[in-house]
Amino acid sequence: MPETTPRGLSRLAFGGDYNPEQWPESVWDEDVRLMREAGVTMVSVGIFSWALLEPEPGAYDFGWLDRVMDLLHDNGIRVDLGTPTVAPPKWFYRAHPDALPVTADGTRLAFGSRGAICHSNSAYRAAAAGITIRLAERYGDHPGLAMWHVHNEYGVPVSACWCDSCAAHFRRWLETRYGGVDGVNEAWGTAFWGQHYTSLEQIDPPRTAATVGNPGQALDYKRFADATMRENFCAERDILHRLSPGVPVTTNFMTALSQCDSVDYWAWGREVDIVTNDHYLITDGRRTHVNLAMAADLTRSVAGGDPWILLEHSTSGVNWQSRNPAKAPGQMARNSLAHVARGSEGAMFFQWRQSRRGAEKFHSAMVPHGGTDTRVWREVVELGATLDSLSTVRGTRTQADVAVLWDWHSWWAQSLDWRPSVDHDARERADAFYEALYDRHLTVDFAHPEADLSAYPLVVVPASYLMTQEAGRNLARYVENGGTLVVSYFSGIVDEHDAVHEGACPGALRDVLGLTVEEFSPLLPGQQVRVTGPDGPELTGDVWSEFVVPRGAETVWTYADGLAAGHPAVTRHRHGRGTAWYVSTRLTARGLDALLGRAAEDAGLPSRADLPHDVEVVRREGASGSFVFVVNHTATEAKVPLDGAGTELLTGERTAGRLAVPAGAVRVVHLDG
Ligand code: GLA
Ligand code: ZN
């Protein structure tokens, strides 16, 4: 059995992508000296090194990597060793130009960047296996090896390929899934627009067509592309397990970045030995620390609640947005520890030493261009010491209060063309509900719609357009057994093939919600509706409204204007021993808070109104004890009530009853007991 924590790592993971091949060997000694000074415990090596490790087909140059591995090991730094299969060398593409991916409109991408791979290409598969075998044979039992890092961020920058090999592979995938062409015709509804096929051979990838294509085909192609990348991951993983027994294998995820929307991480989470994630702050005007918390919660959920590792984030600015702000003093530590609070067993970075050349030279690093006499370096050293003082949290699990449903397949289906409104965005609703729960100081686990939800008093369904009947039954059972459910509009509409469930919408949920929706009535840009309730505040919605017909549910808020005036806007349905809420418009943050307040009461959740806004309080628990993380994102000191007494691990101070956390700071209390 492969291990599930990095081999030989007895502290939290702290370090970054280390690319010594970009530097003369004379710099390497300084690198490890500085790594020791900063308390680095692990680095990721060799992720893009194929062209240097195998400069000619079958001719290997491992000398430099031997020296790097030994140097790191001699200095007590563990190695997360990459298989460089995300960046095949130029000689490979010269011999196999068809391994370069083709876009939906038929353009073949060129060599010269990274990640340009057709995952169906058999020459690529053979070459990737070849270099992986070589690396595993050479380093599989190296004493410095902590874990294997396969590839890099599957799905980015290329999420799928539309070439002829992929077409053939897609047909085989369809054969396995549907047993033949009749099954495909049925699933995709090809009676529509004359799309009927008489053999699987006629089926192609959903290439650029005259107008919108078949949605079932488009959705299945997303599934196929994801499954094909996963096949390649599993092939490498199996080689590593065979030749490097026991050493855990990971690949770095990007669970919550909307740039990476093509990977079903529920499925990937089951295939890796350790879940690892990359997270970068997106500068889009929203609260970056909320997005960070969501990414961390989603990553932990994909890991089944087990500890995971933040494998990449940035010390300061990135370089791939239009505008890349630096991090404020203290923000790097706050970001790092917020990930640890939510289950990460450390905080690692892209990258160790800032590059002088190449496309990422303006991306921040642990050792900036300016060297050690810099703010970033001083904060890096300080963070190393902080993480060292938190070693005892290893192995504990973050405690969640509520569950939010999340399903990549539903997101894919929802994002296809010709929906009732382009302004409705499933991911935006997930973010908004998450933010509302975050502001109520509730810690969130994400759950697949068919997962066991019985542990959660409250389950929120932001916008789960695609929902199987099985998932619908799962939610109904959850409510019948006493759970409280909150469902947002445009949920439970279609099945796994993007076919509308039989009968009135929302087919998968109408019984548990006690209503039907007769018509969607999306709003125009700038248009708002007022929503009033007998005992609640007046709320505002935009983007969406609909004609809801209660069939057992009571109306709590009503549309006061717009086309749906007089119709229910928010309903509540007693079902079995529980309650199901439904909201049929896009409420603002204040509206979501009012709705969740009512639902939280039904669920018997404690009010955390005594906790200050933008101060995160998260708990990790396990064999080594109970830890309360408090992350103060505000510019003033925060006072936070504590259940009992304990030792604050960053300052070593005793604390009881109430904890003062300075502006922008983090405190971690190990509770007595
Ligand atoms: C990704 C990649 C890294 C690097 C960083 C920069 O996460 O995995 O190689 O490009 O982005 O932010
Ligand atoms: Zn292809």
Question: Got the DSSP string for 424-453?
Answer: --HHHHHHHHHHHHHHTT--EEEE-TTS--
Q: Are 344 and 302 in contact, with CB atoms under 8 Å apart?
A: no
How many beta carbons lie within 10 A of that of residue 403, not counting itself? 22
Residue 404: what pLDDT?
98
- Residue 546 has a pLDDT of 98
Q: Which ligand is nearest to the CA of 168?
A: 2
Tell me which residues of the chain have a pLDDT lower than 70.
Answer: 259
Which residue stretches of 6-121 are H helix? 25-38, 50-53, 63-74, 90-95
d(CA 442, CA 509): 25
| Residue to probe by mutation, ligand 1, list 85, 354, 360, most atoms within 8 Å of CB | 360
271 noted as active-site residue: no
Alpha helices per DSSP H over 244-330: 265-269, 288-302
Catalytic residue among 54, 153, 496, 546: 153
**CATH superfamily to which 402-603 belongs:** Class I glutamine amidotransferase (GATase) domain (3.40.50.880)
Q: What pLDDT score does 256 carry?
A: 86
Atom 7 of ligand 1, nearest CA residue: 278
Asked whether the beta carbons of 664 and 632 are under 8 A apart, the reply is yes
Instruction: Decide: 446 and 406 in contact? Cβ < 8 Å.
Output: yes
Kindly identify the ligand whose nearest atom is closest to the C-alpha of 151: 1
Amino acid 535: pLDDT: 74
pLDDT, position 261: 84
In the structure, which protein residues have their CB atom closer than 6 angstroms to any atom of ligand 1? 152-153, 278, 280, 312, 318, 350, 360, 363
Distance between CA atoms of 142 and 365, rounded to whole angstroms? Answer: 27
Looking from the CA of residue 152, the nearest atom of ligand 1 is 8
Rounded distance, CA 655 to CA 632, Å? Answer: 17
Domain with CATH 3.40.50.880 in the chain: 402-603
Cβ pair 574, 544 in contact under 8 A: no
β-pairing, 145-150 vs 344-349, is: unpaired
Homologous superfamily (CATH) of 13-162+205-398 is Glycosidases (3.20.20.80)
Q: Which part of the chain has CATH 3.20.20.80?
A: 13-162+205-398
The response to whether 114 counts as a known ligand-binding position is yes
Q: How far apart are CA 124 and CA 236, in angstroms?
A: 12
**Contact yes or no for 488/463 (Cβ under 8 A):** yes
Task: Indicate the residue type of 380.
Answer: V
Q: Going by CA atoms, what residue is nearest to atom 11 of ligand 1? A: 350
- Does 3.20.20.80 match the CATH number of domain 615-671? no
pLDDT of residue 433: 98
Mode of pairing for the β-strands spanning 539-542 and 528-532:
antiparallel
Q: What backbone phi and psi angles, to 5 degrees, belong to 635? A: -95, 10
pLDDT, one tens digit per residue, over 361-393 is 999 999 999 999 999 999 999 999 999 999 999
268 annotated ligand-binding residue: no
Q: According to CATH, where is 2.60.40.1180 located in the chain?
A: 615-671
DSSP per residue over 114-155, as a string?
A: S----TT-HHHHHHHHHHHHHHHHHHTT-TTEEEEEESSSTT
pTM to 2 decimal places = 0.98
- Of 541, 514, 517, nearest in space to 465 by CA: 517
Instruction: Tell me phi and psi for residue 613, to 5 degrees.
Output: -60, 140
Q: Please confirm, yes or no, whether 175 is among the known catalytic residues.
A: no
- 272, 251 in Cβ contact below 8 A? yes
